[in-house]
Every structure is written in structure tokens, then in C-alpha cells.
């Protein structure tokens, strides 16, 4: 049975046990609050504040009045086993929600199997938390706790999986089976590698670099709420090494002089495409998306900084470290000079004239 702190700061449940929690909100006078136009949810968050599940509160009535029920069968706790989870009890608004309590959920290992919420379950109990408005401290609630017999026939039943999702494999293709869902239908389908979502949809094609545990997770939705359940994992081993890219590009060039650099790739699988994912090229240079080469004859001086060449194929992407190239201005021609005068100097001819022939003026920098 679910165990909770009276203020809902902690929850504890064995894997395979149903999650059963009821909350009744009362005015400071003890009268049950009118929740007709209000909606409440229990949201479950994993690491990185990723929401992994949510249970909408069902509005039910018994002899004590209106209360909220949050119920899921044992597949729910079994699917969340091993995760570090935070649980928020919140009221939903049109544009957000107000968190009322936050607590940690611990799911313990168990060999007791997965329990249902059917009418045939005998001796099932539910925790009911009563939260009463505090007259002396507006906006705060004073909680109390009861353990009550579970009455499954109240309200709209939540979705349940009578048969859990599963995976079949044919070569590199994985096909997910949604299982058998009662009181709802499959809404979303996801593939996870070691707990991280890698794809969505009913099939997944292995690219060869995956190594670890792959599971297929289905979100069921019905009038009674939503429920996410994962398949038993299958183990996969990497069969293809991820693509790599190497090369040392020239870091300098000159206007009017051809520049050429093409990286080398290794490993990977399938068609490779290249992208200049960082920086931009000077006029006269071009990038090839089929080879990753930078070629051409620059027509302008300047610096190209933060250049990054990326290659992508079916195994993923790889990139060269960012690099820079400086293109210098074209070299200026050396002015030509010539000695003028007789080829020979005749003896006794002191009047012969000699000089240099060249440009009348020399431009700055020439």
C-alpha cells in the first residue's frame, strides 16, 4: 500500500503495487470545498525535471462529500521503478498551475507481482489526506490522514494495461506492440535507450551505434486520466562505429592564390553529407556539401574565424574543432629599373652619359 507523509512531502510504494491516493479539501469550517470548476493533478518528474507521468484527480463523492482520487494499477509503479522521482500535487489553471505540495517518491523492489485495480481485488486500502484551510493563516492548509477501504466502483476508471507493451525485432527494425489497454487508447509512443527518449512512433530502426537497454513506452489516455507504461527492455550491442572526421586545414592564404582543404572521414555508415556549421567564407572560396572541401581563389583579404566542418550519416554527426584562416593581401610587384648608356666605355671618352630607366614615381608600398 502507498505510504505518504501527512503533508505529502514523501511517498513510498513497492514496485507492482497500485498507486492509490485520495485528497479531500475542506474550508476552515470543515465544510467540503466546492471543486466543480477546479482541476487537480499529480505530476511525476524525473531527473532534469522531465515529466514522466501525470495522474488527473477524479472528482468522486462518498458519505463524507466530494474528494479527489488519484489511482493507477501496479503497472504504473512497476514502470517507474528505479527512477528518482519528484511528485507535485497542483491545481491546474488555464495558463499554468499552482503547486500545493512537493514530495519525493521512492519505489521499492518487490517480488509480489503486478496488482490490478479490478473489483476482484480484496482488502485493498487507500490513503486519504484531508487538507483543511487554516483560518488563522490564510492560504495554508492543515493536513490529516486516514486509511480507508478502496472502493473501485466509484467514478470513471483510469486507463490500465491488461497486457504490457512489448518489442519484436526483425534485423535492425524494432516494432512496438502497444499491449492491451482498458479504459483508454494509446496516445503517444516513444523509444528509450537507457531511459533517454531517442525516437517516437511505433517502429525504430537501429543505426548500429546503440549500446544498452532499449524500451518501448506507451502513453494511454482515457476519461479517467493518463498512464505511461514501458515494455520489458531488450539489450542491443553496437555494430557500427560512429563516423569520425579529421584534418589540419591551412591557417593562412593569399589573395589571388588558390586555397584548398578537404577533411578525411572514417567509420560510419550510409551517405555522408557535410555542412559548414560555423563561420563564413571570404569571397572567392566555396564549400562542398558532398566532400567537406573548402576550395577556390580568394579575391579579398581578411580573417575567417570559427570555421566548423560537420559530417553526418546514419550513425550520427562529427565535427572538426573550430579553426581560423587568415587571407593576406596580394603581393605587390617590384618596379623594374634598367641601366642605360653605351655598352662599353671607350678609352678617353669621359663625356659618355649613364642612367637608370624606371617608373617616374614609386607608389607607396611598391
Per-residue pLDDT tens over the stretch 60-116:
877 788 889 898 888 888 888 888 899 999 998 878 889 999 999 999 988 777 887
> What backbone torsions phi and psi does residue 78 show, to the nearest 5 degrees?
-65, -40
What confidence score (pLDDT) does residue 347 get? 62
Of 44, 74, 82, the C-alpha closest to 158 is 74
Taking only the tens place, the pLDDT of each residue in 45-75 is 988 888 888 999 888 877 788 889 898 888 8
Higher pLDDT, 131 or 135: 131
Q: How many helices (H) and strands (E) does the chain have?
A: 1, 33
Q: Considering only CA atoms, which of 23, 22, 75 is closest in space to residue 53?
A: 75
d(Cα 341, Cα 354) in Å, to the nearest integer?
A: 5
Name the range with the highest mean pLDDT among 13-27, 131-145, 300-314: 300-314
- Same CATH topology for 162-236 and 244-328: the answer is yes
* pLDDT value at 342 more than 70: no
Report pLDDT for 120. Answer: 44
In this structure, of 61-65, 143-147, 310-314, 362-366, the range with the lowest mean pLDDT score is 362-366
The CA–CA distances, whole Å, from 348 to 183, 343, 345, 351, 353 equal 126, 15, 8, 9, 14
pLDDT tops 70 at residue 236: yes
Q: 48: which residues sit within 8 A by CB, 6+ positions away?
A: none
Q: String of b and e for 120-153 (b: at least 16 CB within 10 Å)?
A: eeeebebbbbbbbbeeeeeeebbeeeeeeebebe
Task: Give me the pLDDT at residue 339, please.
Answer: 55
pLDDT at 311: 96
Q: Mean pLDDT over residues 245-254, rounded?
A: 96
CB atoms within 10 A of CB 357: 9
Query: Mean pLDDT, the chain, as a whole number?
Result: 84
pTM of the entire predicted model: 0.43
For residue 351, pLDDT beyond 60: no
Which of 65 and 306 is assigned the larger pLDDT? 306
In the chain, where the domains are located: 3-155, 162-236, 244-328
Stretch 149-154: mean pLDDT: 67
pLDDT confidence bin for 226, thresholds 50/70/90: low
Check: CB of residue 295 under 8 Å from CB of residue 253.
Answer: no
pLDDT > 70: what percent of the chain?
86
Report the range out of 233-237, 241-245, 287-291 with the highest average pLDDT: 287-291
Q: Which of 30-34, 127-131, 143-147, 241-245 has the highest mean pLDDT?
A: 241-245
Q: What is the pLDDT of residue 119?
A: 46
3-state secondary structure of 171: coil
Highest average pLDDT, of 169-173, 210-214, 279-283, 355-359, comes from 279-283
Q: Which CATH architecture has domain 162-236?
A: Sandwich (2.60)
pLDDT in the model for residue 264: 96
Q: Look up residue 194 and give its three cell numbers.
A: 537507457
pLDDT at 327 over 60: yes
Kindly list the distances between the CA atom of residue 198 and the CA atoms of 47, 180, 181, 192, 210, in Å, as whole numbers in the listed order: 16, 24, 24, 5, 10
Question: Collapsing DSSP states into helix, strand and coil, what is residue 362?
Answer: coil
- Residue found by looking up cell 516494432 in the block: 175
| Ranges assigned E (strand) in 31-172 | 39-45, 51-56, 58-62, 65-72, 85-93, 96-108, 125-133, 141-149, 160-163, 166-170
Give yes or no for residue 289 having a pLDDT over 80.
yes
The pLDDT assigned to 182 comes to 85
The C-alpha atoms of residue 341 and residue 135 are separated, in whole angstroms, by 118
Superfamily the domain 244-328 falls into? Immunoglobulins (2.60.40.10)
> Which residues 6+ apart lie within 8 Å of 136 measured at CB?
none
CA–CA gap between residue 201 and residue 26 (Å, rounded): 44
- What's the CA gap between 258 and 366, in Å, rounded? 23
pLDDT of residue 335 exceeding 80: no
Amino acid at each position: 500500500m502507498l505510504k505518504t507523509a501527512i503533508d505529502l512531502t514523501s511517498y513510498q510504494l513497492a514496485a507492482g503495487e497500485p498507486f492509490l491516493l485520495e485528497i479531500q479539501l475542506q474550508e476552515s469550517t470543515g465544510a467540503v470545498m466546492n471543486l466543480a470548476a477546479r482541476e487537480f493533478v499529480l505530476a511525476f518528474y524525473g531527473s532534469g525535471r522531465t515529466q514522466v507521468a501525470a495522474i488527473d484527480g477524479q472528482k468522486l463523492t462518498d458519505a463524507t462529500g466530494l474528494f479527489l482520487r488519484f489511482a493507477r494499477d501496479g503497472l504504473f509503479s512497476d514502470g517507474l521503478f528505479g527512477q528518482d522521482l519528484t511528485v507535485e500535487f497542483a491545481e491546474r489553471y488555464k495558463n499554468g498551475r499552482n503547486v500545493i505540495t512537493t514530495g519525493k517518491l521512492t519505489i521499492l523492489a518487490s517480488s509480489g507481482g503486478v496488482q490490478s485495480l479490478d473489483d476482484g481485488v480484496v482488502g485493498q486500502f487507500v490513503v486519504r489526506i484531508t487538507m483543511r484551510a487554516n483560518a488563522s493563516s490564510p492560504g495554508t492548509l492543515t493536513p490529516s490522514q486516514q486509511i480507508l477501504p478502496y472502493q473501485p466502483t466509484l467514478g470513471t476508471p483510469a486507463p490500465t494495461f491488461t497486457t504490457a507493451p512489448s518489442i519484436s525485432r526483425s534485423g535492425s527494425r524494432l516494432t512496438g506492440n502497444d499491449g492491451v489497454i482498458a479504459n483508454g487508447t494509446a496516445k503517444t509512443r516513444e523509444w528509450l535507450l537507457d531511459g533517454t527518449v531517442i525516437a517516437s512512433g511505433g517502429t525504430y530502426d537501429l543505426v548500429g551505434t546503440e549500446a544498452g537497454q532499449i524500451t518501448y513506452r506507451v502513453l494511454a489516455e482515457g476519461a479517467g486520466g493518463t498512464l505511461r507504461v514501458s515494455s520489458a527492455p531488450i539489450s542491443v550491442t553496437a555494430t557500427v562505429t560512429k563516423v569520425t572526421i579529421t584534418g589540419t586545414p591551412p591557417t593562412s592564404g593569399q589573395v589571388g592564390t588558390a586555397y584548398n582543404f578537404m577533411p578525411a572521414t572514417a567509420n560510419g555508415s550510409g551517405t555522408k553529407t557535410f555542412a559548414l556549421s560555423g563561420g563564413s567564407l571570404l569571397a572567392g572560396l566555396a564549400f562542398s556539401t558532398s566532400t567537406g572541401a573548402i576550395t577556390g581563389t580568394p579575391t579579398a583579404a581578411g580573417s575567417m574565424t570559427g570555421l566548423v566542418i560537420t559530417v553526418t550519416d546514419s550513425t550520427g554527426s562529427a565535427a572538426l574543432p573550430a579553426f581560423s584562416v587568415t587571407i593576406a593581401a596580394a603581393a605587390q610587384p617590384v618596379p623594374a629599373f634598367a641601366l642605360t648608356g653605351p655598352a662599353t666605355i671607350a678609352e678617353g671618352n669621359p663625356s659618355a652619359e649613364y642612367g637608370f630607366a624606371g617608373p617616374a614615381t614609386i607608389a607607396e608600398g611598391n
